Amino acid sequence: MQIGIAPLVGGLIAIALLIGGAFAVGTKWDGDTESSAETAAAVSALKSDSEFSDEEFLEADEETPAPEGAPLYKVLRVVDGDTIVIEVDGKSESVRMIGVDTPELNDSRTGVQCFAKEAAEKTKALVTGKSIRFEKDPSQGDRDKYKRLLGYVFLENGGFVNKALIEGGFAHEYTYDDAYKYQKQFKAAQAAAKEAEAGLWAPDVCPPEKAATKAKTPAPPKTTTSNTNQAAAAAAAAAPPAQPIQQPVQQQAVQPTTTPQPEPKKEEPKPEPKEEPKPEPKKDPDPPLEPSPKSLEPSSIVCSRNAYNCTDFETKKDAQEVYDQCGGVGNDIHRLDNNKDGSACDSLP
């Protein structure tokens, strides 16, 4: 059987096109497979990062282990970067972290300090909605002058919150008086944060305020005798010449010669006697004012009667400290917690 030239050539061309298309498709498939694999890996890594919380990234280390067997306490809220409120036996207790000091967020004397909001947000990210373990330090006492518990805060996985705040540049290492248990580790953490320029140690993160300058009013020129004479001469030169005034000539009448009589002496007025100033009656001293809760020391807080309202406080933190010292829910003498949830003056900032 003989095959024509045209069909044979057409068949060969079709076979070549089929092989070339298969090769091209194979090459494209391999490229898409590699690109898809890289994209999937990137998406997987991004998803895994977003699924981890700050607690999971904050891992325990052998140098600062969490206390074994310590109970877990529920975190109720975060006051600022170094102070939280936990639930202990059904009552709310403020906890001031030992060894750290974050910029002030609620202090009416200083206002909101630089990096205070970032530090508070970091603490919220670490402990909000979680339970923590609490470790006391006998060298620092149980409570501070504001009746807050003093201690170290650990997450359930052993992550050390106090140390993490210093490592991330959200807090300064702070020694109140005596050396504390983890002082050496905290100082080393701060040195590392400074070297890495982390957080509040970053350049220009908290630039100093520019000093206000007042515009000075220029002083008037001093007046001297020579200046006055020169000014008078210039004014006289500029003025037009004065015209002579003609007065009529009057004949003087001849007056009879008389002996002048002496003028009577005028009596000088006698000086009126000066009245001596009467001494002002002494005023009774003002009664002592009730101490303002805005700057109260714990020893001066009144807890025996209803002495304060929420309007007496500038911040919720100030109201909470008075509320906690007077007994919290069990003795809300000032009626600062109407809904009995352990949080005073919720309307305040």
Q: Look at residue 75 and give its three-state secondary structure.
A: strand
Of 55, 104, 167, 173, which one is the catalytic site residue? Answer: 104
Residues for the chain: how many in total? 349
Of 55, 93, 96, 133, which one is the catalytic site residue? Answer: 96
> Are the C-beta atoms of 122 and 115 separated by less than 8 Å?
no
* Neighbouring C-beta atoms of residue 164, cutoff 10 Å: 22
Whether 148 is a known active-site residue: answer yes
Task: Report the alpha-carbon distance of residue 273 to residue 155 in Å, rounded.
Answer: 88
Task: Report the alpha-carbon distance of residue 20 to residue 10 in Å, rounded.
Answer: 15
Whether 96 is a known active-site residue: answer yes
Q: State the alpha helices, DSSP H only, in 104-256.
A: 116-127, 161-167, 183-196, 225-238
> How close are the terminal C-alpha atoms of the chain, in Å?
101
Whether 305 is a known active-site residue: answer no
How does 235-248 read in b/e, with b if 16+ C-beta sit within 10 Å?
Answer: eeeeeeeeeeeeee
Task: Report the alpha-carbon distance of residue 55 to residue 59 in Å, rounded.
Answer: 7
> Are the C-beta atoms of 333 and 304 separated by less than 8 Å?
yes
Place of tokens 């990096």: 115
> Are the C-beta atoms of 322 and 71 separated by less than 8 Å?
no
Strand intervals (E) in the chain: 72-80, 83-88, 91-97, 100-101, 131-135, 149-154, 172-173
Of 133, 148, 167, 321, which one is the catalytic site residue? Answer: 148
Burial class of residue 43, CB neighbours in 10 A (0-12, 13-18, 19+): exposed
In 3D space, the residue among 172, 204, 214 whose CA is nearest the CA of residue 191 turns out to be: 172
Q: Which residues have a catalytic role annotated?
A: 96, 104, 148
